[in-house]
């Protein structure tokens, strides 16, 4: 009894150690890999696939562990509605779902799971009887975002013991699935934010609008190619400079003080070429604090035309 209690405590400590580190600053792929390893190494199953909700109202098998036929399922998808039907028609074991034959369930749409070959199942000791784990059995641990709203599903098979999981093993899987769902959601949010940053950076660097990113001190952190071309200086030359080092004060001969807060200013080009730009600085609040974005529209031609018109009027007068 003492040894059994110690085993329970050791298993719980191991699973809690895994849970504490899940999804903390990790990518989704790393998080899923750690989930799979925990199911295998701690929870005692030799086959597992992780189904994750993706755009398009589907769940895709992102990763797995087990025999080749299990690994071959990675990348396969199943409709969210089909998954809800599978779960509702499976036996309820607390928060887990148990199916004696997944393919026999009367559900619409294909089922994205295939049992490992019978050769991979352990020989069941004599006398085990009804507690023996059959090749057609499958245990599912749904991870919920809300009512009838799945984040994902852990599908486990091939218990090391060769038996139907007992109450302790089921409780551990149930506990782990709840925390794994939280970790998957956090990793997905982190990945989405990173993707958005990458997309914004691509747009920023390739934009035809001259744009400079400024720090909280209003000094230049980075500029795009259009900004470099306008002011005649490279990104490395501009880094750390204030906007007033790049543009003269707002002494434009026309349309100074626009409604959007922009103003026409002369560009301080090192080559001495006369260029004018309509400059606007906006404050933005980000996760790292206050920052500024400066955009500059080339107004050289418009300013030159205004000056020409002004001289013509003076000559007429």
pLDDT digits (tens, 9 = 90+) for 32-50: 888 898 899 889 999 999 9
The vertex-187 CA angle with 156 and 65, nearest 5°, equals 25
65 — pLDDT class (breaks 50, 70, 90): very high
Q: What percent of the chain has pLDDT over 70?
A: 78
d(CA 33, CA 19): 13
Same fold, 2-188 and 204-310: yes
Residue 154: name the closest of 40, 69, 68 by CA: 40
Task: For domain 2-188, say whether CATH 3.10.129.10 is its number.
Answer: no
75: CB partners within 8 A, 6+ apart: 60, 61
Q: What is the pLDDT, as a whole number, of residue 85?
A: 93
d(CA 46, CA 156): 8
Cα distance between residue 120 and residue 137, in whole Å: 13
Q: What is the pLDDT of residues 202-218, one digit of tens each?
A: 888 889 999 999 988 88
Q: Per-domain residue ranges for the chain?
A: 2-188, 204-310
- Closest Cα to residue 61, out of 49, 69, 71? 49
> Quick one: DSSP state of residue 127?
T
**CATH superfamily name and code, 204-310:** PAS domain (3.30.450.20)
What's the token pair of residue 62? 């992102």
Question: How does DSSP classify residue 96?
Answer: E
| Angle made by CA atoms 150, 154, 157, in degrees to the nearest 5 | 150
- The strand pair at 77-79 and 276-286 is best described as unpaired
pLDDT band at 279 (very low <50, low <70, confident <90, very high): very high
Q: Around Cβ 300, how many Cβ atoms within 10 Å?
A: 15
CA–CA–CA angle 91, 93, 97 (5° rounding): 55
Say what the pTM is.
0.63
Which pLDDT does position 307 carry in this prediction? 47
Residue 194 predicted with pLDDT over 70: no
What integer is the mean pLDDT of 88-111?
Answer: 85
pLDDT at 311 over 50: no
Range with top average pLDDT, 10-24, 250-264, 303-317: 10-24
Nearest to 239 by CA among 250, 247, 228: 228
Residues 6 or more apart from 183 whose CB is under 8 A from it?
Answer: 19, 22, 23, 31, 35
């Amino acid at each position: 009894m003492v040894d059994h209690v110690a085993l329970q405590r050791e298993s719980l400590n191991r699973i809690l150690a895994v849970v504490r580190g899940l999804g903390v600053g990790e990518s989704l792929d790393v998080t899923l890999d750690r989930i799979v390893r925990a199911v295998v190494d701690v929870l005692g199953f030799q086959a597992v696939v992780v189904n994750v909700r993706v755009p398009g109202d589907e769940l895709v098998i992102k990763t797995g562990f087990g025999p080749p036929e299990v690994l071959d399922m990675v990348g396969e998808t199943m409709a969210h509605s089909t998954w809800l039907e599978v779960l509702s028609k499976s036996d309820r074991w607390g928060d887990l779902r148990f199916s004696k034959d997944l393919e026999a369930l009367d559900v619409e749409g294909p089922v994205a799971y295939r049992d490992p070959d019978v050769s991979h199942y352990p020989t069941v000791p004599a006398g085990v009887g009804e507690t023996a784990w059959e090749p057609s059995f499958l245990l599912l641990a749904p991870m919920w975002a809300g009512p009838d709203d799945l984040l994902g599903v852990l599908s486990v098979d091939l218990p090391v013991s060769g038996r139907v999981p007992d109450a302790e093993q089921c409780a551990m899987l149930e506990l782990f699935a709840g925390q794994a769902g939280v970790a998957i959601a956090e990793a997905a949010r982190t990945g989405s934010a990173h993707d958005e940053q990458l997309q914004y950076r691509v747009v920023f660097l390739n934009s035809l609008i001259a744009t400079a990113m400024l720090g909280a001190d209003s000094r230049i952190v980075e500029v795009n190619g259009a900004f470099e071309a306008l002011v005649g200086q490279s990104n490395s030359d501009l880094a750390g400079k204030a906007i007033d080092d790049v543009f003269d004060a707002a002494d434009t001969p026309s349309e100074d003080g626009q409604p959007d807060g922009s103003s026409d200013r002369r560009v301080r080009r090192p080559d001495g070429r006369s260029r004018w730009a309509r400059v606007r600085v906006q404050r933005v609040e980000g996760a790292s604090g206050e920052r500024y974005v400066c955009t500059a529209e080339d107004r050289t031609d418009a300013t030159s035309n205004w000056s020409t018109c002004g001289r013509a009027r003076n000559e007429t007068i």
